[in-house]
Structure 1
Amino acid sequence: MLWDLPTRVFHWALVLCIGLAWWSGEEGRNDVHEWTGYTLLVLVVSRIAWGFVGSRHSRFSDFVHGPRTTIAYLRGARSPTPGHNPLGAWSVLALLLLMLVQAVSGLFNSDDILFPGPLYYAASTPLRDTMGVVHELAFEALLVLIALHVLVVSYHQWVKKEGLIRAMLVGKAAQKTGLSAPVATWKALLIFILVAAAVWLGLEQAPQPQPLW
């Protein structure tokens, strides 16, 4: 198995959340946007945790390599692992970082009418304004990286015939098979539940608006 079930679920759930976040923001559905942001935050943190304790090819140590290996790959060397190539690995880290920044900055935002973020009243006005700008810029950068990601995947899928899409759907493909058995799926579920509980408990401690009387 190349990419285990939790990794594949994380991947497609993140795709769904990004699309839903864009749609809800454009349509003014702040209730949907808010809960999508929470879900995105939990998913990203869970995926980062899985990158340390998950199956072999889901771990950052398996596919993230330094500049020397990345440059060698760009010059034509083979990828050292069957999963993400060295360049793709850095794009994965960049996407996770941007999604994390996007989700966290959204916690400080408000539509100034009905939906203040859970950390809105914990921040000063300058911090709120900064986070608002960060939220917008991070999403624009995210869209650029997503577009590049789709182009590169399309190239590897249809030009190099590597079967990336099939591997991300079912876990393996003709030219994409793993080197070890996956970690038990229940461990990923436990991580997701613990992260969700930690986020909920943490946000519950955030200060609420003071009454005007």
Structure 2
Amino acid sequence: MKGFDSIAASMFPGEWNIIKEREGDSEASTILLEHSDFIFSRFPEQSFLLDRFPKRIADHTKFASLALSFGEVEDNPVLRSRYINEEQKFIRVFQLLWAYDNVWVETSLRYENTERIKEVLQNQEKEKRMFTALEKLIQNDSDHLQIEELADLEVFLELGLRETVSSVFVFEKMQVCIWSNFDLNMPMFIGNSESLEILRTIITTEGLYLRR
């Protein structure tokens, strides 16, 4: 079985190697997680945004009225419910991608506030899954692991969408990397153009958009 380093390196076309490119970044501890901007500038034609909107909203006032940030809605039951309804669209997309591929996650979990994680999840089973993953990362002195169970993927995704734990999700065979972000959108790199059709089908069917 391939290790995460070789899988990450295989995401990109030609001889370009993210492992070698990041060697000059002495402050970065991760391979992909901290390098999304660098990757998107290097491969703009293969970089996309998984979003609730089909194109960028130029009017900032209108965008602000539609934007959903978890930190701003979590204490309002009505807005929180609206947020979770939108969040479920992303979860359904990831459920299908998980069904078709091997999934890895590179994550900031080791460095995040565990009490904040509990506040955000508010679910003992989900907390247990996250702390089991945390133990594995600490034991291996690593920031990445392969996701075998769908429930684990969903918890990492929830924490990413809720702006609590940053993660990048790597779908090995599709050669797709998806970064957690804010305002319910996720930057995406697609290394294999043959994956684009099924990605668009899944994403639009679940009520989201793949855009530049």
Say which structure is richer in strand: 2
Give the number of the structure whose alpha-carbon radius of gyration is greater: 1
